[in-house]
Structure 1
Amino acid sequence: MDTISKAIKTLSDAIEKICEGIGILSVAAFVVVISLQVVCRNFLKISMVWANDISVVCFVWAVFLGSAIAVRHRAHYVLAFLPERFEKSNCFLDIVGDIAGIIFFYVLIRYGYDYTIMGLKRMSTAINIPQAYFFMCIPLSGCFMMWYTILDIVSDVKKMVLLVNGKKEVNNG
């Protein structure tokens, strides 16, 4: 089982590095394009029609891939209903939240894929590329978020089993 755990961790780390790399490049490109657009419009009086399309693509990719990283680290918003001393109840609520996440990520994958396929037939206005490039990050990041949430639910179920069996020490790693 140790080999499987290492393989899962290696895959999860690789997915995160890919998301980070593309996310960083997207944010950097976004900043450069917007800065260039501001300089050209305000100082050179040149219109850069294509900058809007490129900045939207970069922003959307950065947001969705950053969301996948946030899901991995459980860095998304959480509403705490109960104090920490209610470990079993909080663990149960974590599992319910994981299940809700899986449902939401399924919707992202399923309908994001359909939206991306529709985007193959539509061209962006300014740069004349298929709009699928704008949308393909939705099902892709949905897959990554689903992967991380499945790992979380497995961890949470293991934690719940330990709590129900009366064991205080819970290893979340």
Structure 2
Amino acid sequence: MLKLIYKSLAKLEDFLLAVLMISSASMIVIQIIARSLFDYSFVWAEEFVRYAIIWMVFIGSGVAVRTQRHISIDVIKNILPLKLACAVNILLLLMSMAAAGLLLIYGKDLVVTMQKFGQLSPALEAPMYWFYLSIPISGGLMFIHLAVHLLAQTKALLTGQIKPQPSEVNHAI
């Protein structure tokens, strides 16, 4: 059941990223055509693209954690014995989970504060807290993905299969 939920979450992330990319690229092309051919500009288009890119970055950070595509320095882990490297990796995952948890908690507080202010975006006239929601959502996504990686690393350490492949991460649940 948890595997199905996790796979569904991954598909939702990928779908949202695709929708945001396509809509942003389309809006940029439409804006260029409107300006060039019709001497007309959509007032809200650039703001829409800006906020779509912000959402892409924050959702994409969760996807990068899920697919293990974030930048990492592996020099020390590569020279350590396998068990010790796995233990170091578990420690790093726990520290990353703490950072993601802080992003989730303080991002939520920021969203609540922005909601109280009732500020609207200048061109779209949408509530600003909608755009700030990307912060705690990103923290939550990263926390979930890091927890799955932590389970996989812990399982690998306990069973002696020290270096799980990225495809095995989904089997930790």
**2:63 corresponds to which of 56, 69, 83:** 69
> Is there any run of 5+ residues in structure 1 with no aligned partner, and where?
1-6
1:70-119: CA deviation from partner (whole Å, max 9, x where unpaired): 21121211111232672122212211220121111112111111222233
Report the CA distance between 1:170 and its aligned residue: 6.4
> Is the 8 Å Cα contact of residues 103 and 135 (structure 2) preserved in structure 1?
yes
Q: Larger helix proportion, structure 1 or 2?
A: 2
> Is the 8 Å Cα contact of residues 65 and 141 (structure 1) preserved in structure 2?
yes
Alignment of 1:123 onto 2:120: yes
> Is the 8 Å Cα contact of residues 105 and 136 (structure 2) preserved in structure 1?
yes
Look up the match of 2:144. 147
Alignment of 1:99 onto 2:68: no
**1:135 corresponds to which of 132, 151, 154:** 132
Aligned-residue identity in percent: 21
Moved more, 7-16 or 58-67: 58-67
Moved more, 46-55 or 19-28: 46-55
> Is the 8 Å Cα contact of residues 86 and 162 (structure 2) preserved in structure 1?
no
Q: Distance in 2 between matches of 1:78 and 1:13?
A: 25
> Is the 8 Å Cα contact of residues 113 and 136 (structure 1) preserved in structure 2?
yes
**1:111 corresponds to which of 101, 106, 113:** 106
Report the CA distance between 1:141 and its aligned residue: 2.2
Report the CA distance between 1:128 and its aligned residue: 0.8
> Is the 8 Å Cα contact of residues 24 and 62 (structure 1) preserved in structure 2?
no
Count of residue pairs the alignment pairs up: 164
1:16-35 to 2 correspondence within 5 Å?
A: 16-35=10-29
SS of match in other structure, 2:69: coil
TM-score (norm 2): 0.84
Q: Distance in 1 between matches of 2:38 and 2:96?
A: 48
Q: 1:63 to 1:106 in 2, by over 3 A?
A: same
State the superposition RMSD in angstroms: 2.2
Report the CA distance between 1:169 and its aligned residue: 8.7
